[in-house]
Amino acid sequence: MEYCTFHKGKRKILESEPVDGRKNGTLLNDFNAKCSKLMFQIDCELNKLYEEVVFEVAAFTKSYWENTLRPPGIPMAVVRCETLDGYDFEMALVNALKIKPICISPSQTMQLYDLHEMLRKMGDKKYIMLKQVECFTAGPYLDGLVSVLTDSEWERKIVLVVTVAVDFNVIFTRFSQESFWKLTLYCFHMPTPTYALQAICEAIAIKPSNYMIVDGTFHKELRARFLRDSLSVCEVKRILKVTLLHKLLECEDFGNDIAVNSGNVGTEAVLASYDTFLYLLHELTTGFPYHAENVYELHSWIQSNPNFFVEKGGPYSTWKSIWVTWSVEKMVDSLLKLWNPVKRITNYGSEVQKLLVDLREIDQRKIALQKEAIPEHETAVVGICKKRLSLHEMQQRMRDKIALKKHMDVMSHDRQRFIRLLTQIMSKTLRIFHKVPSLEKKLLVGKQNVMNLVIPSTTTNLEKAFLQPKLRNEHRSGIQMDLCLAYRSLLDLSLECKNIPIYRWLARFQEYLVDLNDTSPVLRLFRCVGELEFMGILKPASDRNRDEVNILYVPHTVTY
């Protein structure tokens, strides 16, 4: 990506060479500018999420500063931060109070007499932030801190702000009982990591004002990585940065606005419509089977499945089977919710209005159809009485009765109209972003090669490490390769028999081995047997038969 050369001089100066006819300096400046916009977009949503708790802690602190009466205990705000990363709680509190606290953390403690001197120099408004209190050991330091804060020298109460990761009960184990009775505790809760993920999705998924958005596959992988592995906002930001850099290497003008013309709807209009109908669909399926936990999960389903609205056995197919049982009142209520956003879509507004009128007049329509059907029925009965019917005529009469019954069943017909109209509207507005031309310069796509870099598959990498190619022809200088050779020879024998005898495995294992004069092949194999059993790859054939083994794990991503 960059080729750097050193030039002689007093200092080493790095100069980038042009690649593919462009200067890397320009590319990196463009990347930094666009990356800053994307990160600012995420930080704004996170600030909205956390600022309420910050303001509550700030208000709590100010209330004790402004209180002229001396309360009995030391005011202590205990803030449960969960797995808070990617957000600077200390800086946010400083911005709210306009005063910097004295910070004490496990990695940055201070002597108590130094703390006393700093408190004397702070002025009237004093507060201390004790970070990660669960990492402190219970003992004289924290008790001494409480003693300093209870000194009668201070005219006003000194507020103690304490952060814990998850468990509030850790407070009771870090302070002695004597110190604990001198504290007045107030607990504050930061939002859980799930809410942080929703804030990130709000910043990169469907919001019309977003600077960039991510495609469905990338969005699904980001959510899975966050919930399954890390719960880390910082990691999500790193993944987005790497993906954005690769995208800019492919397309220099990515992130620039596309001019709106007569055949191209603006990105904000497309996303606004998508956002509106996504929330409507999520609301219409409340309480249904396969109901999405939130709109972002529903968004992930739609974007990652091109056949979402036509797939048999999928969530939408299940929802249609429930809509077909709805009453007139429920259908009318849903159409009224659709009415305002649908008016902006050509053709569908009039259809929704017509269906609304028909549903409201369904009783009158039933009566009118019954009146039309009575004369026809009387005529048919008179004709039947005058002559005997043949088999063909009887079958035709039965088909006519079925057709008449369907024609008279106005309710079922209107339900089908409702489902058909709803599906047409949703499939038109909730389109996959790849099929929307106006989103081309705004859509951050997670290509497979980039995804392998930023979200590596542990299973795939382990399988590749176990099944390295050309092991027979390469000289291995240590015992570390024995595990790979043992696994490969075990897979070879698994194609021949279910229960693999140890003596046959040893013979096949020796075919792969490079001789090590100081170690017996038997010892090398049994070392591998223990490690493979510990990893859950094999097990003994039975509790009594330990001379044979069964393989439990066959590779899925590597051909052997």
- Looking at the structure, give the CATH architecture of the domain made up of residues 458-551: Orthogonal Bundle (1.10)
Q: How confident is the model at residue 2 (pLDDT cuts 50, 70, 90)?
A: very low
Tokens linked to 266: 């603006």
Supply the DSSP symbol for 226: I
For 65-78, how does the pLDDT look when each residue is reduced to its tens digit (9 = 90+)? 887 666 678 888 89
Mean of the pLDDT values across residues 37-48? 89
Give the pTM: 0.71
For 507-539, how does the pLDDT look when each residue is reduced to its tens digit (9 = 90+)? 888 887 766 666 788 888 888 888 888 888 888
Contact 284, 320 (CB under 8 A): no
Q: What pLDDT shows up at residue 282? A: 92
Half-sphere exposure of 105 (CA within 13 A, CB side): 9
User: Residue length, the chain?
Assistant: 560
Contact 113, 181 (CB under 8 A): no
User: What is the distance between the alpha carbons of residues 503 and 524, in angstroms, rounded to a whole number?
Assistant: 13
Q: What pLDDT shows up at residue 29? A: 84
C-alpha torsion angle, residues 5, 7, 8, 13 (rounded to 10)? -100
The answer, yes or no, to whether residue 262 has pLDDT greater than 50, is no
User: What is the distance between the alpha carbons of residues 227 and 215, in angstroms, rounded to a whole number?
Assistant: 18
Query: Which of 144-151's residues contact partners 24+ apart within 8 Å by CB, and which partners?
Result: 144/112, 145/104, 145/112, 145/115, 146/74, 146/175, 146/179, 146/182, 146/183, 147/179, 148/112, 148/115, 148/116, 148/119, 149/74, 150/74, 150/182, 151/116
Q: How confident is the model at residue 351 (pLDDT cuts 50, 70, 90)?
A: confident
Domain ranges of the chain: 50-191, 325-429, 458-551
User: What is the distance between the alpha carbons of residues 392 and 395, in angstroms, rounded to a whole number?
Assistant: 5
Strand partners, 500: 549
Rg of the chain taking only CA atoms, in angstroms: 35
Pairing verdict, β 127-130 and 102-104: parallel
Mean of the pLDDT values across residues 331-350? 83
Half-sphere exposure of 73 (CA within 13 A, CB side): 13
CATH of segment(s) 50-191: 3.40.50.300
